[in-house]
Structure 1
Amino acid sequence: MKGTAIGLLTLALIANVGAISWDCMGTKPYQLQKDDSYEKGYFVCFTEKSDPIFYDCPDEDEYTFNEKTESCTLDLDGRTEPSCTAVGETFIDPSGDPCVDYWECDVSLSPTHTSCTSSDPDSRFNLLLQQCVPEKYWLCGNGIPDCNQVEHRNQRWSDIQDCGSFYQCIGKTLTKQNCPSGYYFNATAQSCLHNTREYCKVPEDWLPPLLVDLENMCKGNVGKFLPDPYYCKAYYYCISEDTPYWSPCDNNMYFDNGICTKNVPSTCICETIDWEALSPSKTTSLAHPDPSKYYFCQKGFVAVEESCPVGMVFNVREKLCSY
């Protein structure tokens, strides 16, 4: 490779040996293992017969070793709250009770945690309508009625995975029926209504998904260097079809186009923000090459690519989506 040398053997030689509590027998070559006594440390087995080599995660305080990605990462959930694009926008709160807890965007486009039961103890948060509804019209959990219960036989129930269909118990038999195209099922009305302006919509998870697939990422990429989607200064090297080996670049460099370089890639945009100038704010949004998208940045975390609602574009000056 051109540029900075990122040879695997060199990294092995410069690593520091830590407290070894196990050996490499039975492990895959170049396998990374978490150091249970130190969250920022990990071991590497280069062969089954070698001694495990100890490494530290990068100096940044936020980085710890993550077993899911076999790499040093930030908290992969990244954000502790959603980013708002419109007043009144709502999001489910995965850390709370999904039946009643949710986030709602206020006039300053800041998410506020709230609960349906704060105003009505018998209301529940409807995922599809993104609002509180009477408990008798919304089944929490998987949303499927139990036709052995008499109270579930007396009405139709929303399919929480599809706005255009509903469940109905005919006797003790569970049935599923579809609304006409362009309609959604309204449990309160117990009928199908026009789904104008996407009044009913299956919500998308606002937390970023896991982007590393350790089992499949190296298929067809043996001998190649792949970027770490969570940390701009690291990469994976494909030893074999099923063995990605993770390593940071030397000298605080960025990984871009197959090499470690001093140039900052556009995907690392959040790492260039002067957070002291933005203090006390710990979040901001930045322009994306696609005007219908933007980057959501939170201090200490990687950029998250977001899309504006349909028909809107990102307003660079106000840092929000608008028509």
Structure 2
Amino acid sequence: MMKPQNIGIILALLACLASFSAASSAGDYEELCRLFKNGTLIRKPGTCHQYIECFDGEGTLKTCPSDQSFDSNKSKCVETLENSHLYCGNRCEGKDGVWVSDPTECHKYFYCSDGVSLAGMCPVGQHFEETSQSCLHGLDSNCVDVNNICEILPDKTKFRKDDDCAYYYECKNGNHVLNSCIDSKNRKYFDVESGSCVEPNKIDCASHSKLNVCSASKTAVYKSDGATCRGYFLCKALEIVADLDPIWMQCPEGYFFDEDLQVCGKANTVVCTHNRCDGRGTSIVASSTNNCHNYIRCVDNKQVEEETCHFDHFFDETISACTSKIIYDKCCDGRD
């Protein structure tokens, strides 16, 4: 654990930190905006009149007219702010020799020197914890993706949980509340743009849910990630307890994970009704449904739609077209 408490060192670096603070104000806020849908507006902590506009995971810093302030509840510039607005103005006003959190990013903080706020950053993999005035390893921190972000966002704002696509946060009364897209029947993923839970093949996800994936086993076992055809988890052999943190892996492009055989096989030999477009770019591929009569249109590794060949035609993936020739691809033959 690293504590940012050596005031002698901090004071020696004040000039450096001041320069960093100015540079960071013009940053792209990627760590923050990756969690929110396009068009989300977030007031920049430490100011009343500046805000961040998120688009495609990046943020642009904008400024209200000189006589206005940014109202985070209304997501617009206004002439008068209510007294209840938090983080408006100097985060370090009236404070000296202490550190306060930056509510936009877990690993950032402000050092307060005679009321002046100077931006700082924890080492890679660590989060700043205001209560202990420390930088803690991410697993030991109470910070969830962002620090108290709902205090500067409108109520009912939804945003991603960065380490699990099946979960998301929603702002309620200034606090973030965790919600799940998993129930007893379905395992769906959160779509930040629509603010709803959708089928996993509709989401570009790199953080697949590990909930209830593994069981206690005396040998290592590979399990499908339940969302893609290439992805799988390595469940470690912990014998009497289940592995709660399995390792996610992927088959090479053009190969799918076969859970029955515990191997990666060529795509046209593996039955998979998850995302058959993963790793296959923009193309037309065979579906595992309807006895080789169906095919899937892929755009940028995601399924757009599934269609059926006319009459008694079959889909031949080798020519990316429907044909009168009977197809017996193992990925679909004999299955509804």
TM-score by length of 2: 0.28
Name the TM-score, length of structure 1 as normaliser.
Answer: 0.29
RCO comparison, higher one (Cα < 8 Å, 6+): 1
